[in-house]
Structure 1
Amino acid sequence: MSTPAAEDTGSPAPDTGLHADRVARRTDGRLIVDGVTLALRPGETVGLLGPNGSGKSTLLRLLAGVLPTSTGVVTLDGRPLPEVGRRATARRIATVEQHTHTQTELTVREVVALGRIPHRRAWSPASAVDARAVTEALERAGLTDRAAQSWHTLSGGERQRAQIARALAQEPRELLLDEPTNHLDIQHQLDLLDLIADLPVTTVIALHDLNLAAMYCDRLLVLDTGRTVAEGTPAEVLTPALIKEVYGVDAEVHHDPGHPVIRFLRRGSGTP
């Protein structure tokens, strides 16, 4: 399938913001990400879609500088991430991984305070600015009443919210999230995505739920076997043909005001 032609809404110049130029990542001789280009526009929310194994998580790690590219380059304000350096990159880009574990006994506030590390000198105590950033992040994530509680006693959804708060305490300009709604019930999925959509940051978020992606994302990038299959607005990208090609399922797509709504069809029945 050819990539839908997205309207030119004024992509940033290559020397501003976070930009992936034909990046690839090879592991054990296999291409996990294969020649993906993505130029992020300030303040937009970009959804990464694709089935399991399509390269979404790997692309996020390349954008964060956690993994080196095999070919291609990721730049931040025109400079390759290795030149920017890990500490400077961490001041700008915050990440929320799909699974986070620790054996260390930490309170929720201590977990959130980890987001301030890139802003502090080694061994220096937390400042009033750090404390205020942590408090505000806890409030935004709805965890103020859990601040003194052990992180290990939280539910899966609450742990994910704590990781969101940790990223917010980092005060990033770019926020990368790997399926942050996985462990949340419907109400908290919507609450979390409302929070993310309202942040004054540029966001890239990997999602499985196509309807949530249509509701909350300004632009979508669809991956399959590591390659870009489609890119554009939700209305341009989320078509029955693309959903069938990428996910192997039949669907109806209704264009309600504001965003498309996907209705999946039962296999073999020909009816919803």
Structure 2
Amino acid sequence: MTASGLAAHRVSKQLGGGLVLDGVSLSPAAGSTVGVLGPNGSGKSTLLRVLANVTPPSSGRVTMDGQDITEFGRKALARRVAVVEQHSDTQIPLTVRDVVGLGRVPHRRAWLSASAEDETAVHEALEQTGMTAKADQRWQTLSGGERQRVQIARALAQRPSELLLDEPTNHLDVQHQFELLDLLSGLPATSVIALHDLNLAATYCDDILVLDGGVVVAAGPPDDVLTESLIMQVYNVKAEVTTSPEGHPHVRFIRS
């Protein structure tokens, strides 16, 4: 555990009269990749929104470097934290380059044009996500997977110290799933990623936090967390957990 970076301290959240998060704590090591797992409705997206200060916790608190996150201005926080949500859309006729350039807004003063540093950050983000060839294409013409990669490029252009990603592999084919997680796990930023795929989490995450009904039921390295008994408890599915040739847990679901 570390006091630096983004952390949640016994966070609870009520929505629609129900408790969506119940006393959740999370304090990632700097530069690590943390996977947040759990079935639909377990609280994964809500936790990310609370961490991003998009929605306030009902109790508990979120801190950045030990300081309450609510004490940061929106622009100051956006220089540190980038968010990629599951769904995003716009009716404004923007190009891919325009969308990625939005990631530089927190670093610019109002009304100032893009600097050389801004242009470099956008160029690098497009390259990292394989979207350079589509930089001048309209956002509305992209496929779902391409839009997802553009939103990730926007977040990378922000050059944050903390990345929060909600199901970033949705809409991506297998190749781009691997490329994206290779990229994220190699960044110096701390990444908190909500995932459905247990094997992707086992391969790419340093630590895993498992939610069920808004409660943390397990947390720690994939080897310790991804057990057959936990998968049955949380997902109500029988599974066989073995070790892959690369040394990661490998989950094979068994049809009953």
TM-score (structure 2 length as normaliser): 0.98
Structure 2: 5+ residue runs without aligned partners? Answer: none
Deviations 1:15-50, CA, capped at 9 Å, x for gaps: x11110001111122111111001111110000000
Q: 2:45 aligns with which of 57, 67, 70?
A: 57
| Paired residue secondary structure (1:35) | strand
How far apart, CA to CA, are the structure 1 residues paired with 2:210 and 2:73?
Answer: 29
Partner of 1:254: 242
Q: For the residues of structure 2 that align with 1:148 and 1:131, how far apart are their CA atoms?
A: 14
SS at match of 1:197: helix
Give the whole-Å Cα distance in 2 for the aligned partners of 1:81 and 1:123: 27
Q: Does the CA-based 8 Å contact 1:157-1:184 persist in structure 2?
A: yes
1:45/1:219 contact within 8 Å kept = yes
The corresponding residue for 1:138 is: 126
* 1:204 lines up with 2:192 in the alignment: yes
1:194 equivalent to 2:192? Answer: no
Amino acid at match of 2:54: V
Q: Percent identity?
A: 64
CA distance in 2, matches of 1:114, 1:132: 14
Query: Does 1:228 find its partner at 2:216?
Result: yes
Name the amino acid aligned to 1:62. V
Deviations 1:56-110 (A, max 9, x none): 0000011111111110000001111110121111100000000111111100000
2:4 is the alignment partner of 1:19: no
* Equivalent residue letter for 2:255: R
Aligned equivalent of 1:180: 168
- Paired residue for 2:82? 94
Instruction: Give, in whole Å, the separation in 2 of the partners of 1:116 and 1:98.
Output: 21
Instruction: Report the Cα distance in structure 2 between the residues aligned to 1:46 and 1:87, rounded to whole angstroms.
Output: 25
Distance in 1 (alpha carbons) for counterparts of 2:7 and 2:255: 39
Q: For residue 187 of structure 1, report the CA deviation from its aligned partner.
A: 0.9
Instruction: Report if the CA contact (8 A) 1:96-1:167 is conserved.
Output: yes
Query: Which digits, 9 at most, give the CA deviation of each residue in 1:141-163, with x for residues without a partner?
Result: 11110000001111111100000
Given that residues 235 and 255 in structure 1 are in contact (C-alpha distance below 8 angstroms), is that contact kept between their aligned partners in structure 2?
Answer: no
For 1:95-150, what per-residue CA distance to the aligned partner results, in whole angstroms no more than 9, with x for missing partners?
00001111111000000000001111112111111111101110111111000000
Deviations 1:221-240 (A, max 9, x none): 00001010000110100001
Number of residue pairs aligned between Structure 1 and Structure 2 = 255
What SS does the corresponding residue of 1:133 show, helix, strand or coil? helix
TM-superposed deviation, 1:258? 2.2
Q: Which amino acid letter does the alignment assign opposite residue 65 of structure 1?
A: N
Equivalent in the alignment of 1:264 = 253
Structure 1 alignment gaps of length 5 or more: 1-10, 268-272
Question: What corresponds to 1:124 in structure 2?
Answer: 112
Q: Tell me, yes or no, if structure 1 residue 32 matches structure 2 residue 20.
A: yes
